[in-house]
A and B are shown apart, each in its own frame.
Chain A
């Protein structure tokens, strides 16, 4: 079965960096695109970034453009989100999600359980 497991969350000071990982299993990893979506506790879903199946196309929300970088390592079936210059308003639960569409980048189907990132001094 499809499994996505996020890790790397924690408490970090404003301006510092953090790297989230999402390890996948149960499907042909290299054929799927991925998304990162975040959610501030008690609020709605906020799309952060997406990466095509081949790693060529990367897309970012305006709020994180230039600060966050999405990448993948097919040999480790892992997707990463490098977060630099963190701000207090980046505090959220970060979800990794697989795109539903084989070989395309559109919208997610399976989601991980999320990892909490708290940016605070």
Chain B
């Protein structure tokens, strides 16, 4: 399975804004929404953005998602120490009938 492309790392100081990119999203997918997952050290992944820019309940509005063409982005504003985690983008590829994950981005505060 092919992998979406993410930078391996991103960093910022408390209060800053960090943006994570996700490129290589296949075009013409039947369901072309991007989901983002956060994985804290030692824990299971958790959904933080679905359908490109929607936040599940409980996810602060400091996290926001966007998508344009074959790329998507996750932005974290007002960076906090608890934002230190790995972040993964994902899409459902209906051509291959499988989930494509990005390689993951480690955010350091």
Contacts and interface: CB of A to CB of B under 8 A. Distances in A.
Interface of A: 35, 37, 44-47, 50, 59-63, 95, 97, 100, 105-114
Given A44-B101, A45-B37, A114 B44 contact: yes
Contacts of A63: 1
B7 to A, nearest CB: 13
B104 A100 contact: no
24 contacts: A45-B39, A45-B45, A45-B88, A45-B90, A45-B101, A46-B101, A47-B98, A47-B101, A59-B97, A61-B98, A62-B1, A95-B44, A97-B45, A100-B35, A106-B31, A107-B50, A107-B91, A108-B35, A108-B47, A108-B99, A109-B47, A110-B47, A111-B45, A112-B44
A50 B1 CA distance: 14
Contacts of A112: 44
B103 A44 contact: yes
Contacts of A61: 1, 98
Interface string B84-98: 001010111000011
- Give the one of A63, A100, A108, A114 with max B CB within 10 A: A108
Please give me the 3 A-B residue pairs with the lowest Cβ-Cβ distance, nearest first. Answer: A47-B99, A111-B44, A44-B104
A45 B43 CA distance: 13
Nearest to B6: A44
A85 to B, nearest CB: 19
Contacts, number: 65
B103 A107 contact: no
A106 B45 contact: no
B28 to A, nearest CB: 16
A106 B86 CA distance: 22
Interface residues of B, number: 27
A108 B33 CA distance: 12
A50 B88 contact: no
Contact of B35 (A60, A95, A107, A110): A107
B47 A95 contact: no
